[in-house]
Structure 1
Amino acid sequence: MGLKPKDEQEKQKVVPLFQSGDYFFHRGIAAYRKNHLQRAIKLLERAVKLTNTEPVFHVQLAAVLSEIGEYERSNEILENVLAENKDVAECYFFMANNYAYLGLFERAERMTLRYLELSPDERFTQDAKDLLELLRFEREEEDDWEEIEEDEDELLAQFERAHYLIRQGNMSQAVPVLQKIMDEHPTYWTAHNQLAEALFQMGDESAFDLCYTVLEKDPGNLFAICNLALFYHKNGEAKKAEPFIRSLQRVYPIDGDHYTKVAETLCTIGEYQAAYERIKDVSRWELEERPKLLYCFAVATFYVSGKEKAEPLLKRAEELGSKQAIDVLSGVAKDRPWNEIVHYNLWVE
């Protein structure tokens, strides 16, 4: 058999590109992994249009929509998948996350329990258990606020006064204010945790007992865990601090204040990578509104990515009035080594 002409050989090398749903799905996944979310959505929408009967395509599209905050649309897609096939258990997990972000904690809890019921040993099981713990914590926090709703304004005014006194270093004046709040509202755990902080800064070891009491009565209380990690770290008791630090490394709270409290605590105790991973997802607008948190991000960035990336953040935090950033850049101007002066202190405004 003789050789075919060269142009025919070349034609045979050309492989037709079938733009099927599967093709667009894999391109969408590739875009998602590169964090090109809008492109990923367009590709996955194309995949769904071409192969509407493949539930995995729908679920992946819903997951990416959730990433950009389109929680309602994501849930609508997941509900449609479940209407066709109730065995796609991960739909319940993704819906639970969406409901949690929407603040619909009861619905989120029901979806999480449904997922765990259907898939006790699947890949999202531990994440679902962690989410369930957070949801119950959030609901307990809501219940606490309902109990004190009638005199909420007075309570907040008292608490803000105590917080201000602590930040000014007037611990002895803050303590009786916090004790009064606790007497009147025994389950207002924020006051307990704030009192523990004041006591620790006064050198009173009963701060530890107070934190453990909070955890006994309110298991998983995030601020108490933050305090214990910080207290033991500052006392140089690394082994005692370790289990609390591990707990903080695993948690990504839904509530914004809890989220930043964890990040700031981790940064204060030198867990810079974990702090960076959390704060990098905070919007630049919010960082601009909170110079202290921007400085925290600058510190974490320095230890994770180096001086060049951290310096613009430090300078911006200084411009916005961060006391710690001002002190650090003053030290930099005097040629002090960065790693000696760039640190974060949760207790300094």
Structure 2
Amino acid sequence: MRKQYADVKDRTKGRKVVRLRMDAGFFFERAVRSLDRHRFDKALKYFRLAVEKEPDNPVNQCNLAGILSEMGRFEESNQVLNRILEDVDPDLYECYFYMANNAANMDQFEQAEEYLIRYLEKEPNGEFASEAEEMLDMLGYELGRQPRRPEVKPKNQWLKKHDEARADLEAGHFLQATKTLEQLVEQVPDFMAALNNLALAYYYTGDLKKSVQTINRVLDSDPNNLHALCNLAVICQHRGDTDKRDQLVEMLKKWAPYHLEHMYKLATTMGILGEHTEALRLFKQLIKLEKNTDASLYHYAAAAAFNTKQFHQARKYWRMAQNLDPGSDIPGFYLKQLEEWRDCSPERVPTVSYHYQLPFEEQFMRLDRQSKAIPEQVKNNPLIRSSFFWALNYGDRETQMQVIQVFEWIADREVEQVLKSFLMKRDEEDDVKRLALYVLRQIGAEKPYKAILSNREVEIQPHDLSRELPSWMETWEQVLECCLEGMHGHYDITHMNDAQIIWAEFLRQNQSNPPRIQKVEGWAAALEYVVAKLHGMPLTQERVAKKHEVSSSTVGRHVRLLEKVCRVHRERSSFSQ
């Protein structure tokens, strides 16, 4: 709840007095402040008052149970936890785990065992499942017998489907995840986790309208669902709905997540929303609480520290990430950039992304330099894939064309679906769609293709495709055909293959600003010359110009542009040998 104030007049003095309206959020903040100062008695008092103000809020109840347990009042803590399960949230199964810990601290080993069995039967893959299994072993030892185990029950088919969909999301197969989750929520409409993941799947593929609709379904049933509130805040920021975004941020800042998973969600959301100070506070807590901290968490903390201009702390966290993940380029990239950014004027210092990946622009630069190595990383990294999907949906024309070019390298089923969906968008430029058509043909996508071109829907058969390509691309194909025709009978298959590779690479590098080809023969002659030179063949520019009936100056001008590509190709060829 947001703090509210009311101004009233003191009639005796004629002055204005600010009267605090003490709601649950007010007492919660006081409790957290007391905890930070190790004043457990005061924290307990304020948590009780927060519960009185919002008795149906399970978070307040769990905080109360937690402070009672910290103070050694285990029986009272269990009474609160039991009340949560009976009256507030019967599905908050982790309460059984907390109750087991309290019972064990009171030497009630059999009761603790019973709570653990209940927890594992309800949440076999829950956050505390491994700890519960270890605790059962310990209790079995204390009781002098074999530890008990939960009854093994077949997993519901819809739970298996949800696991599959989550795996697809984590692998970056967003469209497949969307399809599975849509089927799942139709079968089980009140499955909140599936709805939240479906909202994420829509978000990753750029369908914000459906994402918001799905989030609202969750919030209609569970107004305090943290995942849904965080997702909605991010979308509001993206849409420019600052009032709604600010309202949600104020609400989220009042949360003190009881579970690490929720703390992660809240911390990363605060970072994405630009609330970097709050994000840093939460990430620092996570670093203290996590038993096996991974490199990505240190990167998150480093990003938050950097974005609050705490450069020394950012360096420390990125170095920790580098030590944990020495094979990754990411921490080293940011450590190097940190030294450059520190000397920049404040307005030129960028905001570092919380995603544990290289910046989007750097990914493109590395794709240009290492076109053989990076595509595998692109295929397997869901964050990179989602950034490409977003760029295709919301980037400018040049960025869209770069992304479509990358899709030609990825060339999987999902890329095919994304490009086909892009062709049906009315507000995208025809020229960009024609490039998408070309890539679909190159990757062997299933035909025919449907597209909206010149504001009309058309179905394009394979033999019609050339008419729908950009005019510069048709000319490009003519250059290659002219060159290969002139080489036929004088060069072997290796030479002709190199001509195709060099020309394709040249066009790829100039995708956003393709060359204006006035005379096909001039470029064909230049291409033949650089291939001959690559293989040490005795061919002069004058001779090849005469062969194609163009001037040697024209050939020389085009050769200079092609030679850069030729050098890169030579280096790759010698390296592979």
Query: In structure 2, which of residues 71, 77, 82 is the aligned counterpart of residue 106 of structure 1?
Result: 82
Q: CA RMSD of the aligned region, Å?
A: 4.3
Shift of 1:303: 3.2
Work out whether 1:195 is the aligned partner of 2:198: yes
Counterpart-to-counterpart distance in 2, 1:328 and 1:336: 15
Query: In structure 2, the residue corresponding to 1:282 is in which secondary structure?
Result: helix
Query: In structure 2, the residue corresponding to 1:337 is in which secondary structure?
Result: helix
Shift of 1:159: 2.7
Per the alignment, residue 265 of structure 2 pairs with 261
Counterpart-to-counterpart distance in 2, 1:262 and 1:321: 24
Work out whether 1:173 is the aligned partner of 2:149: no
Given that residues 166 and 198 in structure 1 are in contact (C-alpha distance below 8 angstroms), is that contact kept between their aligned partners in structure 2?
A: yes
Report matched runs for 1:177-326 at 5 Å: 177-204=180-207, 205-284=209-288, 286=290, 288-304=292-308, 306-321=310-325, 326=329
Shift of 1:141: 4.6
Given that residues 331 and 341 in structure 1 are in contact (C-alpha distance below 8 angstroms), is that contact kept between their aligned partners in structure 2?
A: no
Given the superposition, is the C-alpha separation of residues 154 and 310 from structure 1 closer, same or farther in structure 2, using an over 3 Å criterion?
Answer: farther
Letter of the aligned partner of 2:71 in structure 1? S
Shift of 1:267: 1.3
Given that residues 193 and 223 in structure 1 are in contact (C-alpha distance below 8 angstroms), is that contact kept between their aligned partners in structure 2?
A: yes
Counterpart-to-counterpart distance in 2, 1:152 and 1:164: 17
Q: What per-residue deviation string (whole Å, max 9, x for no partner) do you get for residues 220-257 of structure 1?
A: 11111011011122333323322222221111121221
Letter of the aligned partner of 1:262 in structure 2? L
Given that residues 222 and 258 in structure 1 are in contact (C-alpha distance below 8 angstroms), is that contact kept between their aligned partners in structure 2?
A: yes
Query: In structure 2, which of residues 354, 367, 382 is the aligned counterpart of residue 344 of structure 1?
Result: 354
Report matched runs for 1:59-70 at 5 Å: none
Counterpart-to-counterpart distance in 2, 1:108 and 1:322: 45
Q: What per-residue deviation string (whole Å, max 9, x for no partner) do you get for residues 118-154 of structure 1?
A: xxxxxxxxxxxxxxxxx94x544549x9599955475
Counterpart-to-counterpart distance in 2, 1:341 and 1:174: 31
Shift of 1:174: 0.8
Query: In structure 1, the residue corresponding to 2:290 is in which secondary structure?
Result: helix
Shift of 1:298: 2.0
Letter of the aligned partner of 1:174 in structure 2? A
Letter of the aligned partner of 1:106 in structure 2? N
What are the ranges of 5 or more consecutive residues in structure 2 without an aligned counterpart? 1-32, 49-62, 95-120, 125-151, 343-348, 357-381, 385-577
Counterpart-to-counterpart distance in 2, 1:213 and 1:187: 9
Counterpart-to-counterpart distance in 2, 1:109 and 1:345: 36
Given that residues 181 and 194 in structure 2 are in contact (C-alpha distance below 8 angstroms), is that contact kept between their aligned partners in structure 1?
A: yes
Given that residues 211 and 224 in structure 1 are in contact (C-alpha distance below 8 angstroms), is that contact kept between their aligned partners in structure 2?
A: yes
Q: What per-residue deviation string (whole Å, max 9, x for no partner) do you get for residues 38-88 of structure 1?
A: xx89xxxxxxxxxxxxxx79x79xx9xx99x785472539x8xxxxxxxxx
Counterpart-to-counterpart distance in 2, 1:253 and 1:193: 18
* TM-score normalised according to structure 2 size: 0.37
Letter of the aligned partner of 1:182 in structure 2? V
Counterpart-to-counterpart distance in 2, 1:140 and 1:319: 40
Percent identity, please. 21
Letter of the aligned partner of 1:173 in structure 2? Q
Structure number with larger C-alpha Rg: 2
Given that residues 322 and 331 in structure 2 are in contact (C-alpha distance below 8 angstroms), is that contact kept between their aligned partners in structure 1?
A: no
Letter of the aligned partner of 2:267 in structure 1? A
Query: In structure 1, the residue corresponding to 2:301 is in which secondary structure?
Result: helix
Per the alignment, residue 114 of structure 1 pairs with none
More off after superposition, 306-315 vs 182-191:
182-191
Given that residues 162 and 174 in structure 1 are in contact (C-alpha distance below 8 angstroms), is that contact kept between their aligned partners in structure 2?
A: yes
Counterpart-to-counterpart distance in 2, 1:322 and 1:163: 28
Counterpart-to-counterpart distance in 2, 1:206 and 1:268: 21
Given the superposition, is the C-alpha separation of residues 182 and 336 from structure 1 closer, same or farther in structure 2, using an over 3 Å criterion?
Answer: farther
More helix by share: 1
Given the superposition, is the C-alpha separation of residues 36 and 250 from structure 1 closer, same or farther in structure 2, using an over 3 Å criterion?
Answer: closer
Counterpart-to-counterpart distance in 2, 1:189 and 1:273: 30
Given that residues 71 and 99 in structure 1 are in contact (C-alpha distance below 8 angstroms), is that contact kept between their aligned partners in structure 2?
A: no
More off after superposition, 157-166 vs 310-319:
157-166
Counterpart-to-counterpart distance in 1, 2:177 and 2:188: 16
Counterpart-to-counterpart distance in 1, 2:351 and 2:309: 17
* TM-score normalised according to structure 1 size: 0.57
Given that residues 233 and 245 in structure 2 are in contact (C-alpha distance below 8 angstroms), is that contact kept between their aligned partners in structure 1?
A: yes
Given that residues 267 and 344 in structure 1 are in contact (C-alpha distance below 8 angstroms), is that contact kept between their aligned partners in structure 2?
A: yes
Letter of the aligned partner of 2:173 in structure 1? N
Counterpart-to-counterpart distance in 2, 1:259 and 1:203: 25
Q: What per-residue deviation string (whole Å, max 9, x for no partner) do you get for residues 292-325 of structure 1?
A: 23322222233346011121211222333499x8
Given the superposition, is the C-alpha separation of residues 73 and 289 from structure 1 closer, same or farther in structure 2, using an over 3 Å criterion?
Answer: closer
Given that residues 230 and 269 in structure 1 are in contact (C-alpha distance below 8 angstroms), is that contact kept between their aligned partners in structure 2?
A: yes
Given the superposition, is the C-alpha separation of residues 170 and 229 from structure 1 closer, same or farther in structure 2, using an over 3 Å criterion?
Answer: same
